[in-house]
Amino acid sequence: MNAQLPADVDAEQQILGSLMVRPDLIVPISNIIHKEDFFLQHHRILFETIEMLSRTESTEIEPLRLVQYFSDRKQLESAGGAAYIMRLVDQAIAPSNATYHAQRVHNLAIRRSLIEKLNELGKEAQEPQENEGTFLKHVEEELLRITNRASTHGIQSIDHYKQDFVDYIAKLVDAKGGMTGTPTRFEQFDTLTSGLRGGELLILAARPGMGKSTFAMNMATNIAVHQNRPVMIYSLEMSKLELILRILSAEAQINHSDLKRGHIPANKQGPIKEAIARIFAAPIYIDDSGTLDIWDCISRTRKLDIELKKKGYPPGLVVIDYLQLMSDTESRKFGRQNEVAAVSRSLKQLAMKTELPILALSQMNRSVEQRRGDSARPQLSDLRESGAIEQDADMVLFIHREQFADPDSPEALENRGRAEIIVAKHRNGPQGSFKVAYRPEIFRFDNLEVGDGY
């Protein structure tokens, strides 16, 4: 079986010989590969020993020193023998290429792991399974753990990121002070944040009935329908049909209750048909499973993201409605707070690996509902299981609508149909707040007109 597994013994020899010629390569090489990545057992022993001696000894790791080390411990034959170790140095042709060889060895190790795991899963698949869904989830998780190894690059010299940084600066310069991320069409939000950036985790929180889902869906629709950027929506409370109906209500600007009852005025039929055409032509992807494990979310998001990138789509947005309904079976046994923390951290890691912005809706503690006046404004400590969520989030947004004892008072009338969006945390920019128009009957937030409290 081993003879059929992909391997490059010559590359492994080049790495080991280069490390003895150029000890300064140990750190960058160790960031790429581990001893398990080597195909031959004596190469694993040699690499592990070179790493260990480089940490514990101040002298260079010469081949003669290695021979003495193994000989003293009666391990020389298991490391390949004296002649073999001495020959590795002579065969090191171009030590400067050692990192290239290391990447190749690492990639081949991943392929071997995949082959071995697929063989193992193939045998399991031939056996009866108590729950097919659980087995398929196990298959996805096992393969995801292996493929995740390919995206881990470890610590690198700053020079490694030079070209990426030059490209990033060029993009900022080209923007000429304008939008550098994906615009949401909420003008004051885009001005404050320069749009949504890949790799960021955004948390949107509010008390019940404030319009969390509406604001998130409006943002998603603006990105997918009006910019043709793909949006993935994980809806854990709402069915796909109700979700689409709300999107239609907002896009066609028709009362949601009328739509549900089938009361469509003649003058609205044309706009509805046009809105339907726009919505169903947009790259919107919906998962309304109702229950969602974090591993399922990671797997589905990564697979769809790969497909969309192959089709040439630019990055869009991932929406999760909402975070506390997600689960993580592995961390659940350590308590609810640890489970939410694990989900939050995994979402941040997913955003970074896919280079997509992720907007996760979040519950708030009930204590905020007992406060009045200025103290009723939401704050970071109001996030439920707030510690981990606040720490992982690049941006935390709150929706706030003032509640008045007298709904007919001048102040209440002035604020009717408005909501405040509060950017309470912004890791990469300023905090702030702004007012938007809110029409709950059509599930729609809009920019306020200039001069109308804008």
In tens digits, the chain (454 residues) has pLDDT values of 445 889 999 999 999 999 988 877 887 888 888 889 999 999 999 999 988 888 776 666 788 888 989 999 999 999 999 999 999 988 888 888 888 899 899 999 989 988 888 888 888 888 887 777 777 777 877 777 777 666 555 566 777 778 888 887 887 777 776 777 889 999 999 999 989 999 999 999 988 888 899 999 999 999 999 999 999 999 988 889 999 999 999 998 988 988 888 888 788 888 889 999 999 999 999 988 877 888 888 888 888 888 888 888 888 999 998 888 888 777 777 777 788 888 888 899 889 888 899 999 988 877 666 666 666 788 887 776 657 788 888 999 999 887 655 565 666 556 677 899 999 999 988 999 999 999 989 999 999 875 554 4
In a domain, 247, yes or no: yes
CA-nearest of 366, 355, 296, 358 to 326 is 296
3-class SS at 245?
helix
Do 240 and 96 have their domain in common? no
Q: Tell whether 14 and 122 lie within a shared domain.
A: yes
Judgement on whether residues 191 and 147 belong to the same structural domain of the protein: no
Distance, CA of 152 to CA of 33 (rounded, Å): 10
- 237 is annotated as an active-site residue: yes
pTM of the full structure: 0.70
Edge-first strand listing for the sheet containing 358-362: 284-287, 231-235, 317-321, 358-362, 201-205, 395-400, 418-426, 432-439, 444-447
> What CATH number is attached to the domain comprising 438?
3.40.50.300
217 within a domain of the structure (yes/no): yes
Classify residue 176: in a domain, yes or no: no
Q: Which helix (H) or strand (E) holds 49?
A: helix 41-56
Question: Active site residue: 116, 237, 307, 355, which one?
Answer: 237
Specify whether 383 is located in the same domain as 286: yes
- Number of structural domains in the chain: 2
| Domain match, 12 and 110 both | yes
Q: What's residue 152's pLDDT?
A: 54
Q: For position 21, which CATH number holds?
A: 1.10.860.10
384 Cβ neighbours under 8 A, 6+ residues apart: 324, 340, 362, 363, 364, 365
Residue identified by tokens 């002298």 is: 59
- Let me know whether 225 and 365 are in one domain: yes
Q: Which residues constitute the domain of residue 220?
A: 182-447
Whether residues 122 and 219 fall in one domain: no
In a domain, 352, yes or no: yes
Task: Indicate if 229 and 362 belong to the same structural domain.
Answer: yes
Q: Within this chain, do residues 262 and 361 fall inside the same structural domain, yes or no?
A: yes
Domain assignment present for residue 173? The answer is: no
Contact predicate 15/48, CB 8 Å: no
Residue 213 lies in a domain: yes
